[in-house]
Chains A and B, each alone.
Chain A
Amino acid sequence: MDRFERAKQDWYPVEMVGGLASGEQRDTRLLGIDITLSADDDGQISVSDGKDQWPTTIAYDHIWTSPSSDPRPLFDIPEAEEKERRFVPCGVVRVKCSPLRAVENFLDIAHFPFVHTDILGAEPHTEVEPYDVNIDETKDEVIATKVKFFQPQAAKSAGDRIITDYVYRVPAPMVSILYKTCPPKPDAQDVIALFVQPLDEETCDVWPWMALYDYESSMADMIHFQQMIFLQDRSILENQMPRRLPLDPKMEIPTRADLTSVAYRRWLKRNGAIYGAQTEVR
């Protein structure tokens, strides 16, 4: 299976809207290919690999590009149209890990009491109750529902301890979206997403983004909260072995808490999305 085949059909984030000033250029890498981003006098971004111009699109406050001249359509986040929300691009963080590990970690809740101690979880409330995981066959996405966890401080907007309800959605191999209980507006959900740019199979630039109902916190406060959570995960991600995500079913962890990871790995394999994965049995 060509590691690159499926990966090159997707769109990937490479910059925030407004991240590059007019006339400015920046070199980066995508799927092992060196590319240059250039902003013209009007601030329009173009992407080139030195030979060809790559297609670009703007979505969710980020610039997306693809090595394919005809990439598959970008996934939809309807909440991005809800103008009463506050949209928060949180800034890039580089991590020396497989892009697939960055996504899988975002889907995991059992680590909350140990990695996000006294914020997203705390001992002794470590138990993970059963939840549901399905593949939405129409959209070909992984969806986990009825996920709940007891949290000391679920969000910047959360006053006190609550049981938080989560829905996880994986609309593309390197994108992970979380919908969670929203304290200021209990009938709605906060949206937190990780858009992952694979520099190569073992390094990625992660572009987190949020669409929240929070009218109290400053932009800086909301960014800080999300960065705090993600940077707590970073040292874990950089120490996970093997570096590439094992997709062989023999390497699956047989506990109920890991249903989403198991479903994600099977879905990646089924889709040939093996860039960043370890496909041989070691």
Chain B
Amino acid sequence: MRLSHGFVRGEALACLYHGWHYDAEGKCRYIPAHPELTPPETITVQSYSVAESGGVLWLATSGDAKPIALPDNLQPVRSITFDCKADAVEKVMSETTISDASGEPLRANSVSQKPCALSFETADGKTAVLVLLQQGLDGTTAHILAADDWITDGLVKISRWSEMTRRIAEK
């Protein structure tokens, strides 16, 4: 049963089906059907290295999670999923602009290949909007962050811009 359907209790993640509790290393710690039993060491789920950096969770499927360096003045805007591959999303985003508060158009600049990251920068080179692209099995998720001086209306505009890029990319 997928653990993503489970529930968190304290420091454990419990499976929705029988309530088996797993700790942060993926070891089973408690089986509700047998409350007195110490679960065998062999009952373990695969765990991965995770790091938190720049308001983003980074995961490595092998070895240690190595986040790319992010500017420290960013706030999360949204994570939006596209029904197409990451390179299609990257292409469309690179060909569009986002307008900042003063109406100045910001164009994308690729800042990293792995993972794919696009930075929309102001004239003085400060990151105004950062997009991290995550390629999944069925599509791509764009994790969008903006500089913390963006106000509400500007953030809504960024959200709408991401929907526009989705309409184009999915055609």
A and B, one complex? yes
Chain A interface: which of B31-39, B73-81, B105-113? B31-39
How many residues of chain B are within 8 Å of chain A by beta carbon? 14
Q: Which of A110, A235, A236, A240 contacts B33 (CB 8 A)?
A: A110
Contact of B171 with A by CB under 8 A = no
Shortest Cβ distance from B28 into chain A, in angstroms?
10
Known: A236-B1, A239-B1, A241-B2. A127 touches B17 (CB 8 A): no
| Residue in chain A with minimal CB distance to B7 | A114
B2: chain A residues within 8 A (beta carbon):
239, 241
Tell me if A255 and B37 are in contact (CB < 8 A).
yes
Chain B positions 116 through 141: 1 when the CB is less than 8 Å from some CB of chain A, otherwise 0: 00000000000000000000000000
Compute how far the CA of A128 lies from the CA of B16 in the bound complex, rounded to whole angstroms.
17
Contacts of B40 in A (CB 8 A): 254
Known: A241-B2, A254-B40, A255-B37. A236 touches B16 (CB 8 A): yes
Q: Is the CB of B37 within 8 A of A110?
A: no
Q: Of the candidates A114, A123, A254, A256, which one forms a contact with B17 in the assembled complex, judged by CB atoms under 8 Å apart?
A: A114
Contacts of B32 in A (CB 8 A): 110, 113-114, 123, 126-127
Q: Does B19 contact A (CB under 8 A)?
A: yes
Chain B hits for A239, CB < 8 A: 1-2, 5
In contact, A126 and B5 (Cβ under 8 angstroms) = no
Nearest A residue (CB) for B6: A114
When chains A and B are docked, how far (Å) is the Cα of A113 from the Cα of B32?
A: 9
B18 at the interface (CB under 8 A from A): yes
CB interface residues, A 113-148, toward B, < 8 Å = 113-115, 123, 126-128
User: Per-residue CB proximity of A227-255 to B under 8 Å, as 1/0?
Assistant: 00000000110011100000000000011
Chain A's closest residue to B19 (CB) is A114
Docked Cα-Cα span, A110 to B120, in Å, equals 53
User: When each residue 39-51 of chain B gets 1 if its CB lies under 8 Å from chain A and 0 otherwise, what string results?
Assistant: 0100000000000
Q: Which of B16, B19, B33 contacts A255 (CB 8 A)?
A: B33
By the criterion CB–CB under 8 Å, are A127 and B34 in contact? yes
Closest beta carbon of chain A to B13's beta carbon, Å: 14
- Is A111 interfacial (CB 8 A cutoff)? yes
Q: How far is the CB of A122 from chain B (nearest CB, A)?
A: 11
Query: What is the bound-complex CA distance between A236 and B37, given in angstroms?
Result: 25
What is the bound-complex CA distance between A126 and B35, given in angstroms? 8
B35 pairs with A127, CB closer than 8 A:
yes
Q: Contact residues of A with B, CB < 8 Å?
A: 110-111, 113-115, 123, 126-128, 235-236, 239-241, 254-257
What are 20 A-B pairs with beta-carbon distances under 8 A? Answer: A110-B18, A110-B32, A110-B33, A111-B17, A111-B18, A113-B19, A114-B17, A114-B18, A114-B32, A123-B19, A126-B35, A127-B35, A236-B16, A254-B40, A255-B31, A255-B33, A256-B34, A257-B18, A257-B31, A257-B34
Give 6 closest A-B pairs by Cβ, nearest first: A126-B32, A257-B33, A110-B33, A128-B33, A110-B18, A114-B19
Interface residues of B (CB under 8 A from A): 1-2, 5, 16-19, 31-35, 37, 40
